[in-house]
Chains A and B, each alone.
Chain A
């Protein structure tokens, strides 16, 4: 065994020694045991891993979470004006008091911590995560499956009248939250999941989503703005025939964010779009790591990631499209772009295509650039001050990612936030 793997496994053993494995339904115990052995075998990520080349994992793997101050934004919560079913976690702990009744026509909602013998969930919990460990290991997701204290299990039988909204409050400056959600959208149904809030000083979250034939899953997320918070999130999605998956994430602030998205298109004519807009200022590292596997015919996948960086902020993009043998007529597209507002910021991108079918259209584009001086001058020459003109260009740059949100009202909500934050930042 090589020394690097040995060190990683030792780190995993040390980490797990002090950890409590939550108890629960029998099926979840079995899944947690499986996950524990995955973590022990893989070890924890280290800086020498190819997959962690640009982002230091140590603060995400350490036994204790680092301290993170709570940021009082003084503004209305994101999605505040939307009719939705609210499920609230405070520092990773479910709050019955702040949440709505977990009942909505067309769907079944349970909490992981209280889950009884739910057969659909037992078939999924940890399964998509385990599948997603090849060809690239994701030990922090397996760690999550093993240690998650709670989460929601949502089965969508019929399209509900409103979205489910997961709200993550952060109150304790040293909190370390581990949540694991499972969503199953049954054939023909459509479901929207919203997520917002900083969640904890450190947040490890997994979302497994199984989208059946002709089903649709829409996901819009606004990650919390606490400057010192750290987060590692994984989203595993499996798509059936003619199904739709659309996910958008907005990230502003946060000292460290690693968002992984692992999508597997297993049914023909499926459609997966994943997008992100990030606005980073100063001590900020934002990492989007995406892996899309085409394993069916005539599927479309699209990745659109945009980052605006300044004052030393760092953006990372690792995106891969894997087209398996036989996945003909694949249409895969990947775009990662950064707008660097000064010379101190950096963007590191690693786009990859791996194609084993001969009738496919796959492309990727990664760019990094400063603001267009001609456009800036044009705006200024019309009387628009330079800082406002810069914000205009910033919003325009991010627009392509925000437009990936299907619901216009939700897209407007996200745009409104961005505009508001930029305006306040100008002071």
Chain B
């Protein structure tokens, strides 16, 4: 599904190497988690994969089902099936949530040469999916993320994911700013989307989220590289002992 090889990335504006050769492969149907201390490059990886400007890829590759992601515009990556759930979803005053989402769904369909979704079908589907995530009609009507609480923003991210049905989902610290109940709700939404054909890359600081979204594989990232890969037990090790032991072990 997602294949990253020797990815090296620096900031465009300054001569600072953030990713120093990342190798990662997420198979369809699997949930991979990336954990790591602050500043290890986790969020940068998610931004580079989704095409945010300000980064320069100096070496390596990233492909989604064999297609070169790094060569595409952000919207082309989305249409190809990549989805990033933002750590800080952006507020966009003046753009209605519904209009935004319908345009997104239909832009992707158009880009893939598929038929656009009718207004009626869209409405039916979004209502059903919003209900599962406890997003009320009033929230759908509001401008994108404006006045949403932290939990509402993250639920809105999951709703977008559910509507766009991506192949590969990257969740960037989706647990940040959430209380336990909100996290459960978000995790349930994500779990409902787990399927044979879909891959997940869950970026998180804490084991907490992984109690709810159970990973198949856990990677530890430090200083711009994946330094250790293991099963779910690796997340528990981090929870119990912190990163220091692991980092000392691989150093």
Q: Is B251 an interface residue (CB 8 A)?
A: no
Task: Give min CB distance, A277 to chain B, whole Å.
Answer: 12
Whether the Cβ atoms of A381 and B78 lie closer than 8 Å is yes
- A348 to B86 alpha-carbon distance, docked (Å): 37
Q: Is A388 an interface residue (CB 8 A)?
A: yes
- A279 to B89 alpha-carbon distance, docked (Å): 29
Chain A window 386-403, contacts with chain B (Cβ cutoff 8 Å), 1 for yes, 0 for no: 101100110111011000
- A210 to B27 alpha-carbon distance, docked (Å): 73
- The size class of the interface chain B forms with chain A is 20 to 34
Q: Report chain A residues within 8 Å CB of B92.
A: 372, 375, 378-379, 392-393, 396
Partner of A384, one of B52, B94, B107: B107
In the A-B complex, list the 8 residue pairs whose CB atoms are closest, starting with the nearest: A396-B94, A383-B78, A383-B108, A380-B74, A382-B104, A378-B90, A399-B94, A380-B75
Q: Is A385 an interface residue (CB 8 A)?
A: yes
Q: Is A373 an interface residue (CB 8 A)?
A: yes
Chain B window 101-135, contacts with chain A (Cβ cutoff 8 Å), 1 for yes, 0 for no: 10111011001000000000000000000000000
Task: Give min CB distance, A24 to chain B, whole Å.
Answer: 48
Q: Report chain B residues within 8 Å CB of A373.
A: 53
* Interface-central residue, A375, A388, A395, by most chain B CB under 10 Å: A375
Q: Is B204 an interface residue (CB 8 A)?
A: no
Q: Report chain B residues within 8 Å CB of A385.
A: 73, 75, 107, 111
Partner of B75, one of A372, A375, A384, A399: A384
Q: Report chain B residues within 8 Å CB of A395.
A: 94-95
A to B CB contacts below 8 Å, 28 in the list: A374-B90, A375-B92, A378-B90, A378-B144, A379-B95, A380-B75, A381-B51, A381-B52, A381-B75, A381-B78, A383-B104, A383-B105, A383-B111, A383-B164, A384-B75, A384-B100, A384-B107, A385-B73, A385-B111, A386-B73, A393-B92, A393-B94, A393-B95, A395-B95, A396-B92, A396-B143, A397-B94, A400-B94
Task: Give min CB distance, A199 to chain B, whole Å.
Answer: 31
Whether the Cβ atoms of A382 and B160 lie closer than 8 Å is yes
Q: Is A377 an interface residue (CB 8 A)?
A: yes
Whether the Cβ atoms of B84 and A381 lie closer than 8 Å is yes
Interface of A is mostly: helix
Partner of B103, one of A375, A377, A384, A397: A384
Q: Report chain A residues within 8 Å CB of B207.
A: none
Task: Give min CB distance, B235 to chain A, whole Å.
Answer: 27
- A384 to B79 alpha-carbon distance, docked (Å): 9
Q: Report chain A residues within 8 Å CB of B230.
A: none
With CB as the reference atom, state the residue of chain A lying closest to B103: A384
- A322 to B243 alpha-carbon distance, docked (Å): 64
Q: Which residues of A contact B (CB under 8 A)?
A: 372-375, 377-386, 388-389, 392-393, 395-397, 399-400
Partner of B90, one of A375, A383, A388, A400: A375
- A396 to B103 alpha-carbon distance, docked (Å): 15
Whether the Cβ atoms of A396 and B50 lie closer than 8 Å is no
Q: Report chain B residues within 8 Å CB of A396.
A: 92-95, 143
Q: Report chain B residues within 8 Å CB of A386.
A: 73, 75
Q: Report chain A residues within 8 Å CB of B95.
A: 379, 392-393, 395-396
What 9 new A-B contacts, CB under 8 Å, besides A382-B101, A396-B143? A379-B100, A381-B51, A381-B77, A384-B104, A384-B107, A392-B99, A395-B94, A396-B95, A399-B94
Task: Give min CB distance, A420 to chain B, whole Å.
Answer: 15
Chain B window 62-92, contacts with chain A (Cβ cutoff 8 Å), 1 for yes, 0 for no: 0000000000011101110000101001111
With CB as the reference atom, state the residue of chain B lying closest to A394: B94
- A400 to B95 alpha-carbon distance, docked (Å): 12
Q: Report chain B residues within 8 Å CB of A375.
A: 90-92
Whether the Cβ atoms of A377 and B93 lie closer than 8 Å is no
* Interface-central residue, B74, B103, B164, by most chain A CB under 10 Å: B74
- A374 to B101 alpha-carbon distance, docked (Å): 17
- A399 to B89 alpha-carbon distance, docked (Å): 22
- A379 to B95 alpha-carbon distance, docked (Å): 10
Task: Give min CB distance, A19 to chain B, whole Å.
Answer: 46
Task: Give min CB distance, A416 to chain B, whole Å.
Answer: 13
- A381 to B74 alpha-carbon distance, docked (Å): 5
With CB as the reference atom, state the residue of chain B lying closest to A374: B90
- A385 to B107 alpha-carbon distance, docked (Å): 7
Whether the Cβ atoms of B94 and A388 lie closer than 8 Å is no
- A385 to B90 alpha-carbon distance, docked (Å): 17
With CB as the reference atom, state the residue of chain A lying closest to B47: A377
Q: Report chain B residues within 8 Å CB of A383.
A: 75, 78-79, 104-105, 107-108, 111, 164
Task: Give min CB distance, A30 to chain B, whole Å.
Answer: 50
Whether the Cβ atoms of B103 and A388 lie closer than 8 Å is yes
Partner of A381, one of B50, B101, B111: B50
Q: Report chain B residues within 8 Å CB of A399.
A: 94
With CB as the reference atom, state the residue of chain B lying closest to A382: B104
> Which residues in window 15-67 of B have CB below 8 A to A?
50-53
Q: Report chain A residues within 8 Å CB of B164.
A: 382-383
Whether the Cβ atoms of A378 and B89 lie closer than 8 Å is yes
- A204 to B103 alpha-carbon distance, docked (Å): 42
With CB as the reference atom, state the residue of chain B lying closest to A400: B94
- A386 to B103 alpha-carbon distance, docked (Å): 12
Q: Report chain A residues within 8 Å CB of B78.
A: 380-383
Q: Report chain A residues within 8 Å CB of B105.
A: 383
